[in-house]
Amino acid sequence: MSDATPSAAQPSPARSKPLLQVERLSKYFPVEGSIFGKTRFARAVDGITLYVRHGETLAVVGESGCGKTTLGRTVLRLLEPTFGRIVLDGHDITPLSQRLLRPMRKQMQIIFQDPYASLNPRMTVGDAVSEGLRIHGLEQGGNRVSERAAEMLSKVGLGAEAMGRYPHELSAGQRQRVGIARALVIEPSFVVCDEPVSALDASIQAQVLNLLQDLQQERRVSYLFITHDLPVVRHIAHRVAVMYLGRVVEFGPTDAVFDRPLHPYTRALMSAAPVLDPQRRRLRILLEGELPYAMHPPSGCAFHPRCSRADGAACRDRAPSLGEVAEGTHHRVACWHPGE
């Protein structure tokens, strides 16, 4: 994969409204409490605000347990938000019942991390890819549905002969292509890609990433791309959101976040990423301690117990808000002491 950012033109926020707007989104999970029976909550997603433009890829990165997958599923209303607002293409989908939300489902899809677990082993590839068309009534007549499914399978590099095969007869890379075909056959405008290439070897990863980019340019689909693989982010993403303990701590254009990370946590992540260009390599920054438990987040800045810049009262007592570094840069950081 190339180490360059995507070549597709990035829309200006002044020219168009975002496709997806998320405002102070939170998802809390109840956890059994103390011996007195009091219920406590794990804050998997805690007050996140972000947006995704038409035809762009926003990557969400962070270590395991930071809330990336929960964020993606909550945005799609596969998990119900505890607080906050989700606006898709100008429509506030947060208060909608599942019945009223159903017509919107064709606009938003998900590609799962495990292509085998996400496919019904009793359904043929053709049936799996056709299912969305039938559910949403997008094609009339069985022949046309099958034609659309075969066309989509061809676009992802699988021939029509795959239509009658079952998931166990396919390789991991082929199954992931089926997952992509199933998500995109109904022509959604927004897709959550949840670690879509983490289970694949390097050569297949590159093929799947290139396929996603080709389909994005062809259909102007937007991706929320969840991953822990920073070289993949550099290859595919227009912008990056860095998550720590349920919150976004840095948010901005890919080049800006990679070349000038401002949050200490982002710097630690970037220092651990493999980089071929010697000029981009950094000294490895080792974080002390473990990721805190979401049921007992630290006071103030959640990162302060592991941060070398923490200076006591300010970091310990007050949570920094996500603010723009310089006006017009669209590079935001939540830190009392940002800097290189």
Question: Which domains does the chain show, CATH number per domain?
Answer: 20-122+166-333 (3.40.50.300)
Q: What is the pLDDT of residue 26?
A: 97
What sign for the dihedral angle of Cα 251, 256, 261, 266?
Answer: positive
C-alpha span between 122 and 325 (Å, rounded) = 52
C-alpha span between 253 and 244 (Å, rounded) = 18
Strand partners, 243: 248
Per-residue pLDDT reduced to its tens digit, 91-104? 999 999 999 998 89
Structure tokens at 61: 């990165």
Structure tokens at 155: 């676009």
Q: What is the pLDDT of residue 215?
A: 87
Confidence class for position 201, pLDDT limits 50, 70, 90: confident
Q: Are 263 and 333 contacting, i.e. CB atoms less than 8 angstroms apart?
A: yes
pTM, two decimals, is: 0.87
CB count in 10 Å sphere of residue 255: 15
Query: At residue 169, what are phi and psi to the nearest 5 degrees?
Result: -90, 0
Q: Are 6 and 236 contacting, i.e. CB atoms less than 8 angstroms apart?
A: yes
* Angle at which helices 125-135 and 172-184 cross, to 10°: 20
Higher pLDDT, 167 or 294: 167
Please give the distance of CA 109 from its chain centroid, rounded to a whole number: 12
Per-residue pLDDT reduced to its tens digit, 17-73? 899 999 999 999 988 665 566 778 889 999 999 999 999 999 999 988 899 999 999
Burial 292-319 (b: 16+ CB within 10 A, else e): bebeebeebbbbbbbbebbeeeebeeeb
C-alpha span between 161 and 274 (Å, rounded) = 39
Is the pLDDT at 333 greater than 90, yes or no? yes
Please give the distance of CA 69 from its chain centroid, rounded to a whole number: 7
C-alpha span between 71 and 67 (Å, rounded) = 6
Structure tokens at 143: 């022949």
Q: How far apart are the first and last CA of the chain?
A: 27
Where is mean pLDDT largest: 37-51, 136-150, 197-211, 230-244? Answer: 230-244
> Hey, which bits of the chain come out as E strands?
20-31, 40-52, 57-61, 83-88, 91-92, 108-111, 190-194, 222-226, 239-244, 247-253, 323-324, 332-333
Where is mean pLDDT largest: 110-119, 243-252, 314-323, 328-337? Answer: 243-252
Please give the distance of CA 164 from its chain centroid, rounded to a whole number: 31
C-alpha span between 273 and 257 (Å, rounded) = 13
Higher pLDDT, 142 or 185: 185
Per-residue pLDDT reduced to its tens digit, 268-323? 888 866 665 555 556 666 666 677 777 778 888 888 888 877 777 778 888 888 98
CB count in 10 Å sphere of residue 228: 17
Confidence class for position 13, pLDDT limits 50, 70, 90: very low
Annotate 245-263 with three-state secondary structure: CCEEEEEEEHHHHHHCCCC
For the chain, give me the number of helices (H) and strands (E)?
10, 12
C-alpha span between 232 and 173 (Å, rounded) = 16
Distances in Å between the Cα of 173 and the Cα atoms of 37, 121, 122, 197, 333 are 47, 16, 19, 9, 36
C-alpha span between 275 and 320 (Å, rounded) = 31
